[in-house]
């Protein structure tokens, strides 16, 4: 019994630490505003890389992104803005995903505002070649993907320089978050040309707006190669020059990960690529890939294209994009449990069509899986409750002699064939499942904005009226009364206080997780009540 109480107190303390950590992250000031002046840096080829040297800094004042002409592109999944300044993708709205605070607005992934910077940039490396500092010629206006068309192209032309003409081409696809970004290079010189192209994502180091949780999610670059597998890069390590990752390979991809969403450049084939991640200004970072554009003979035209994925972390689609892309969905250290939980829950969702009911039926399946273990534990607790009067008698008999009392209690357990740790098993079994389900609700974009019924319109956020946490607290109190009363009065008071404390904590948990705990408690109460009634009935006969 003493160990059981200790375990409960440890779980309670850990939960309080998590709560404090979340409060600290939510209410501490956000990082300073982003400086955008250094986003003009053009990537350089690493020493020993074949190809032309990087272009020299351009002279003269350049128009800002806000002043440059823009093209607005609308497809069935997104609305994008392309700036003539560098041909950058400066804004991207995902029309099937709403903003977290204002549900009437679309979620914005890319932006070039005063408080948040997140851009997709690309260019060529070589003397006089167009890069993301070049002012392209662009016909401003709105480009819409028409009915019956599967693709939509936007073409930008760079000023001819030193006998080289460059066009930048965006290709958008129906029903896809993939955007092909390519360069068409016409060599009018008398000698061959062998340029390299770079494709990068430039972002501030701020956490996504309003995407707060009980455990902070990762925001930053990620690199995947077959040799080194999935590597996450912290902005702090990049700033200090300590970020370690595979920089050269003939496979893999690089991207920027944030809560629920990811943007990634996906080089195709076994082309040699060079990955990089670096700080470019105060609270501003770039991560990208450099690939060869091939040799372009005099008078010939060459091309280089790289797909950009920018959208939600939908697990059934990520695996088809590139090897390792599914790893951007971060389940923490309990992936081995969380991944199967999501697989089962998604299967249930496809049958039922509602994530709330999927959670309820998942809870029932988990309860059935652990039914024998729970039954044995509840039998042990029920027997201990029957022996409560004898426990009280031993306490009165031995008074303050705790050693003799412990010996007498253990002898009684041995005689009655009771495992004193048996009551802890339901708790120990639920803890990893509880944490794994928490990460599933936290990390999967499928749960973002998923409604259940009535007032519960987003299972990934807290209950707005705290109804579920109050129900959870009531069910936890009932469970406490079904358990044997601790002989120590202080322990008894602590156990009665636990439902109140946990109710306060669960008010900040995702409502989907609280729903799981409520259903689990109700099933446990029914099982424990039935077992206790059977054992107490047997003892009275």
pLDDT, one tens digit per residue, over 90-133 is 999 999 988 877 778 899 999 988 788 999 999 999 877 999 99
Contact 392, 398 (CB under 8 A): no
Report helix, strand or coil for 182: strand
Q: Does position 533 have pLDDT exceeding 80, yes or no?
A: no
What band does 402 get if pLDDT is binned at 50, 70 and 90?
low
Q: What percent of the chain has pLDDT over 90?
A: 32
Q: Which of 58-62, 395-399, 443-447, 527-531 has the lowest mean pLDDT?
A: 58-62
pLDDT average, residue stretch 158-166: 90
Rounded Cα distance between 170 and 176, Å, is 14
Q: Does position 284 have pLDDT exceeding 80, yes or no?
A: yes
Burial state string for 388-418 with b = 16 or more CB within 10 A and e = fewer than 16? eeebeebbeebeeeeeebeebbeeebeeeeb
pLDDT average, residue stretch 434-462: 83
Residue, of 200 and 409, whose pLDDT is higher: 200
Structure token pair of residue 239: 């700033």
Q: Which of 186-190, 247-251, 505-509 has the lowest mean pLDDT?
A: 505-509
pLDDT at 211: 52
Q: β-strands 141-144, 70-74: how paired?
A: parallel
pLDDT average, residue stretch 238-262: 90
Contact 193, 296 (CB under 8 A): yes
Q: Does position 420 have pLDDT exceeding 80, yes or no?
A: no
What band does 55 get if pLDDT is binned at 50, 70 and 90?
very low
Q: Mean pLDDT of all residues in the chain?
A: 79
Report helix, strand or coil for 371: helix
Rounded Cα distance between 513 and 460, Å, is 8
Q: Does position 538 have pLDDT exceeding 60, yes or no?
A: no
Residue, of 201 and 243, whose pLDDT is higher: 201
pLDDT at 335: 79
Q: What is the pLDDT of residues 338-390, one digit of tens each?
A: 888 888 988 999 999 899 999 999 988 888 877 776 666 666 666 666 666 66
Q: What is the pTM of this model?
A: 0.78
Contact 267, 291 (CB under 8 A): yes
Q: Which of 10-24, 428-442, 512-526 has the lowest mean pLDDT?
A: 10-24
pLDDT at 397: 64
Q: Does position 485 have pLDDT exceeding 80, yes or no?
A: no
pLDDT at 5: 45
- Count the residues in the chain: 541
Residue, of 464 and 257, whose pLDDT is higher: 257
Residue, of 468 and 27, whose pLDDT is higher: 468
Structure token pair of residue 356: 């709330």
CA-derived radius of gyration, the chain:
30
pLDDT at 414: 67
pLDDT at 170: 96
Rounded Cα distance between 533 and 60, Å, is 86
Backbone φ and ψ of 496, nearest 5° = -75, -25
Rounded Cα distance between 522 and 374, Å, is 14
pLDDT at 398: 65
Considering 298-302, 403-407, 509-513, the range whose residues carry the highest mean pLDDT is 298-302
pLDDT at 45: 62
What band does 419 get if pLDDT is binned at 50, 70 and 90?
low
pLDDT at 357: 94
Q: In terms of DSSP H, where are the helices of 322-466? A: 335-352, 355-369, 371-386, 388-398, 402-416, 425-443
Residue, of 396 and 322, whose pLDDT is higher: 322
């Amino acid at each position: 019994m003493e160990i059981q109480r200790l375990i409960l107190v440890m779980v309670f303390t850990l939960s309080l630490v998590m709560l404090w950590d979340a409060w600290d992250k939510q209410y501490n000031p956000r990082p300073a505003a982003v400086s955008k002046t250094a986003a003009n840096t053009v990537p350089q080829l690493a020493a020993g890389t074949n190809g032309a040297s990087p272009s020299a800094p351009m002279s003269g004042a350049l128009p800002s992104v806000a002043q440059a002409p823009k093209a607005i592109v609308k497809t069935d999944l997104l609305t994008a803005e392309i700036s003539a300044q560098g041909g950058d993708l400066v804004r991207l709205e995902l029309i099937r995903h709403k903003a977290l605070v204002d549900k009437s607005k679309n979620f914005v992934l890319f932006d070039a505002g005063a408080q948040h910077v997140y851009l997709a940039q690309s260019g060529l490396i070589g003397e006089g070649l167009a890069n993301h500092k070049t002012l392209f010629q662009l016909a401003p206006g709105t480009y819409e993907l028409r009915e019956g068309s599967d693709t939509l192209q936007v073409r930008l032309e760079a000023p001819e320089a030193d006998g080289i003409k460059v066009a930048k081409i965006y290709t958008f696809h129906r029903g896809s978050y993939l955007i092909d970004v390519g360069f068409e290079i016409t060599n009018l010189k008398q000698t061959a040309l062998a340029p390299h192209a770079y494709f990068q994502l430039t972002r501030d180091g701020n956490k996504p707006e309003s995407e707060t949780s009980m455990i902070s999610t990762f925001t930053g670059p990620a690199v995947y190669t077959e040799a080194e597998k999935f590597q996450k890069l912290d902005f702090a390590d990049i700033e200090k020059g300590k970020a370690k990752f595979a920089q050269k390979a003939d496979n893999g991809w690089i991207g920027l990960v944030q809560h629920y969403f990811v943007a990634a450049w996906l080089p195709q084939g076994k082309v040699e690529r060079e990955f990089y991640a670096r700080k470019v200004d105060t609270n501003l970072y770039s991560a990208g890939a450099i690939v060869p554009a091939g040799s372009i003979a005099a008078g010939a035209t060459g091309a280089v294209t790289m797909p950009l994925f920018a959208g939600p972390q939908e697990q059934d689609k990520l695996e088809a994009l590139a090897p390792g892309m599914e790893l951007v969905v971060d389940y923490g250290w309990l992936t081995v449990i969380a991944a199967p939980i999501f697989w089962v829950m998604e299967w249930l969702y496809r049958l039922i069509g509602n994530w709330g009911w999927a959670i309820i039926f998942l809870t029932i399946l988990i309860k059935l899986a652990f039914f024998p273990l729970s039954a044995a534990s509840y039998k042990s607790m029920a027997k201990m409750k029957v022996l409560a009067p004898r426990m009280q008698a031993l306490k009165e008999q031995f008074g303050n002699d705790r050693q003799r009392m412990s010996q007498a209690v253990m002898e009684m357990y041995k005689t009655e064939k009771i495992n004193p740790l048996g009551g802890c098993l339901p708790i120990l079994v639920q803890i990893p499942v509880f944490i794994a389900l928490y990460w599933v609700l936290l990390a999967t974009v499928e749960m973002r904005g998923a409604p259940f019924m009535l007032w519960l319109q987003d299972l990934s956020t807290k209950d707005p009226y705290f109804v579920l946490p109050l129900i959870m607290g009531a069910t936890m109190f009932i469970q406490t009364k079904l358990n044997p009363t601790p002989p120590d009065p202080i322990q008894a008071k602590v156990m009665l206080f636990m439902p109140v404390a946990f109710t306060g904590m669960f008010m900040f948990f995702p409502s989907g997780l609280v729903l799981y705990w409520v259903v689990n408690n109700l099933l446990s109460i029914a099982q424990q009540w039935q077992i206790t009634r059977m054992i107490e009935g047997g003892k009275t006969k």
